[in-house]
Structure 1
Amino acid sequence: MPEQEKQVTWAELFFDLVFVVAVTQVASLLHTDHQWPGVGRAVVVFIPIFWTWGGTTMHGNTHDLDRTFERLGVFAVGLCGLFMALALPHAYGSRGLLFGASYWAARLALCLLAQRHYRAVVFNPYTASAFITGPLLLVGGLVHGTARVALWTTAAGIDLLVPYLTRQGLAQISFEPHHLSERYRLFLLIALGESVAATGVTASHHPTTMARLIMVAVAFALACALWWVYFAFTADVIRDVLRTAQVTIDVIRTVLAYGHLAFIGAIIAISTAIGEIIPHPLAHLHTSTAALLFGGTALYLATFGYTRWKTFHNLATSRLATAAVSLALLPLATRIPALASLTLLAVVMIALNVLEALVVSRVRLRAEAQSLARPSAHSSPD
């Protein structure tokens, strides 16, 4: 009998609830300041949040989280994640120490939990975060202004480099592909769900006008289109690539770690922009808001181009072309009402999904025709 695939545990699903709050708080931070410096600061704090979630996911992939000790460890990391989320609105102000200390505590807990499995790999993402980036975030929380930004940016950069630096050692570790692909799908779903929830909550705080109701409907259509691009055409491919990869860590690093960091960051940007325009559906978009909306969509689509190239060495032509169209529409978006801009973007995304559905259908029909033709060819007399 084939070995049963590892399933996501209830403890992991409960743990994910913390990161619903964290994603919401990152969006709130970006909402406060979405000029370029503000976007940079939001990215810098989102990386340790995503790395904490990812480190817990990797630990759960190689350990049995149904054991009491492991569950308690994951819940301890979850509490640290909740403190990080609590600190986020004022992470660059009065709560910097709370953010830095919570991250370091989370990484120390993960290092302790994972040490038995990674004993042969002394330098790994857990030891790097526990002894390098964690202390950097803690020290950053003790200083202020530019010094904090510089230290936290350095820590985020090191965290991003660690998967490359530890590749050789991690190639020795055996990972379960089904569990990993499921976990990262769930995080992307969390981000999409947060965007829908934020749209509804924001709209509920304003008068119910026809323009605002249409705006909510269009925003939901855009969220559905973003979901469709990933879950209808990509999610199963990622799982299959993980299953067949010669070196699993290469796919984990490029597609899951880096790819999903960009996917989820793009969704947060789109969600923040929609939250900005819901109150004023007939006003023109500010340039920074349009950049979040159309630039976030372009980043989301372009990331598929990155992951496709890294896994198959070919271009995701339709998605890259649509990303270019999204960027090309940015100047127009600031000259028309916000509702029209959002509708235009939703139409572009829906058109992409229709085009890809037609391509997939045509490929399937061709494959079926070829499979039907083969038996008749074999049975014909020579």
Structure 2
Amino acid sequence: MGETHSGLILRGEASSQRATFLELFLDLVFVFALTRVSQRLITDFTTEQRILLSEAGQTLLLFLALWLLWATTAWITSTLEPDALAVQVVVVVTVVGSMVMAVALPQGFGERGLVFAGAYVSVQIGRILIFLLATHGRADPTDPAAPLRVLFWSGLTAVPWIIGGLLGEGAARGVLWSLAVTVDYIALTLGWPAPRLGRTRFSGQTLAEEHLAERYQQFLLIALGESIFVIGVTFSGGGGAFTPARTGAFGLALLTTVLFWRIYFYRAGQVLPLAITRARDPARLGQSVAYTHLTMIAGIVLTGVGYELSIAHPLGHNPPAWLFAVLGGPALFLVGRAGFEYQVFGRVSRSRVAGLILLGAVVPAMLNMSPLTIAGTAAGILLGVALLDFRRSHGRAPEQPAPPI
């Protein structure tokens, strides 16, 4: 276990694997942030004369920026001792910055664009400066150049983020921010390669495997909780009567949320901590599952939006774009879940593939159906996936993880 003179400590075997209360406090901010993402998507789907692909793409871009902050914070607290003062300050800075971004998100491509971009850049650069100041330039004793690499790339992408925020509403902001967030993700994946500084090697890094796995599990539960919040508010508010159609749509939404939980946690999600621990390269597996969780969480949020539309208009006209949410959300979740299953077990169940094929096959038949019917079809397919999982595992010993990485 390495230690700097500022008290910044690398994770060791004796370190607690549980998330700290400060980390859970950060999660509360992201509960709110996900509600802003959902509400912006609902506006994308219901406002007339909008280009859905463009509007939904903007919302996705803002969500990707938020997820990157959360995921990198989870990595920080899984590699460094979370009780160290510098780490706690970094988490608090992330809490404040993420909250500002969440508040600005509904108008992130409007009048609050500079606020969103400024908060994002401030967190990205500010966290590195805090570590450098607190440790006199040696935030990571095993790799002193690591923070400088991150600072190099954060400073590089800060330019399109800030210029995009300064520009008025238009395509230029979308182009600049798309470039910035793409570069941010590529730099993270490649280990922030920088001239004369090399690149960060994730393999062999000190890592609290169980802690990182638990953080991913907790965020997926946050997404499920946000979905429950959205459908609950829609059903109980707005002066809508508890008609059979609205009640049915509400019941289908709850069923789908339960099925997401079941399909995720049985069994890959349940054994994720053991999978990362047993992996040949735990750090690489820990990094890669961030992307499959991102895909699953995006699918859950999108599905929640679709069910809000179904509850509000269960028997009304079904614009074709709504199919993208009601059927596309579960499909996106299954894509992420299939990739996640491969990461944990080195294989993909046929039930995932069958579910994806069915979701795509029913699209033509659903074009003229009511939102309630479409929601029931999506829930039925997910129920079939869950039942196939149960049938395959019934009477057998619990499968043990066998990560290919």
TM-score under structure 2 length normalisation: 0.84
Partner of 1:65: 82
C-alpha distance 123-162 of structure 1, shift in aligned 2 (>3 A) = farther
Partner of 1:262: 295
Partner of 1:317: 350
Partner of 1:29: 40
Q: Which moved more, 1:234-243 or 1:100-109?
A: 234-243
Partner of 2:31: 20
C-alpha distance 323-63 of structure 1, shift in aligned 2 (>3 A) = same
Q: CA deviation at 1:31?
A: 1.5
Partner of 1:179: 211
C-alpha distance 362-121 of structure 1, shift in aligned 2 (>3 A) = farther
Equivalent runs, 1:1-382 vs 2, <5 Å? 3=14, 5-34=16-45, 35-115=52-132, 116-117=139-140, 119-122=143-146, 126-127=150-151, 130-144=154-168, 145-166=170-191, 169-203=201-235, 204-205=237-238, 206-255=240-289, 257-310=290-343, 312-364=345-397
Measure the CA separation in 1 of the matches of 2:396 and 2:34: 38
C-alpha distance 198-32 of structure 1, shift in aligned 2 (>3 A) = same
Contact 2:331–2:359 (CA under 8 A) maintained in structure 1: yes
Measure the CA separation in 1 of the matches of 2:181 and 2:37: 15
Measure the CA separation in 1 of the matches of 2:163 and 2:146: 24
C-alpha distance 28-365 of structure 1, shift in aligned 2 (>3 A) = closer
Measure the CA separation in 1 of the matches of 2:81 and 2:68: 20
Measure the CA separation in 1 of the matches of 2:108 and 2:261: 31
Q: Can you list the C-alpha shifts for 1:309-337, whole angstroms capped at 9, x where unaligned? A: 45554333211220121122222223222
Q: Can you list the C-alpha shifts for 1:15-49, whole angstroms capped at 9, x where unaligned? A: 11111111111111211214111221111111110
Q: Can you list the C-alpha shifts for 1:259-294, whole angstroms capped at 9, x where unaligned? A: 111111111111111122211111242211111121
Q: Can you list the C-alpha shifts for 1:115-158, whole angstroms capped at 9, x where unaligned? A: 51275343788435532233321221011311110110001111
The one-letter code sitting in structure 2 at the alignment partner of 1:237 is V
RMSD between aligned alpha carbons?
2.3
Q: Which moved more, 1:97-106 or 1:352-361?
A: 352-361
Q: CA deviation at 1:5?
A: 4.8
Q: CA deviation at 1:223?
A: 0.5
Other structure's SS at 1:33 match: helix
C-alpha distance 234-311 of structure 1, shift in aligned 2 (>3 A) = closer
Other structure's SS at 2:267 match: coil
Q: Which moved more, 1:223-232 or 1:33-42?
A: 33-42
Q: Which runs of 5+ in 1 are unaligned?
A: 368-382
Contact 1:55–1:110 (CA under 8 A) maintained in structure 2: no
Q: Relative to total residues, which structure has the larger helix share, 1 or 2?
A: 1
% identical equivalent positions: 27
Measure the CA separation in 1 of the matches of 2:42 and 2:112: 18
Other structure's SS at 1:278 match: helix
Q: Which moved more, 1:290-299 or 1:162-171?
A: 162-171
Q: Which moved more, 1:211-220 or 1:310-319?
A: 310-319
Contact 1:294–1:329 (CA under 8 A) maintained in structure 2: no
Contact 2:249–2:307 (CA under 8 A) maintained in structure 1: no
Partner of 1:371: none
Measure the CA separation in 1 of the matches of 2:41 and 2:148: 31
C-alpha distance 329-124 of structure 1, shift in aligned 2 (>3 A) = farther
Measure the CA separation in 2 of the matches of 1:277 and 1:366: 37
Contact 2:342–2:348 (CA under 8 A) maintained in structure 1: yes
Query: What is the number of residues matched between the two proteins?
Result: 365
Measure the CA separation in 2 of the matches of 1:202 and 1:155: 35
The one-letter code sitting in structure 1 at the alignment partner of 2:87 is E
Other structure's SS at 2:69 match: helix
Measure the CA separation in 2 of the matches of 1:86 and 1:201: 19
C-alpha distance 362-168 of structure 1, shift in aligned 2 (>3 A) = farther
C-alpha distance 157-332 of structure 1, shift in aligned 2 (>3 A) = same
Measure the CA separation in 1 of the matches of 2:216 and 2:90: 20
Measure the CA separation in 2 of the matches of 1:189 and 1:366: 23
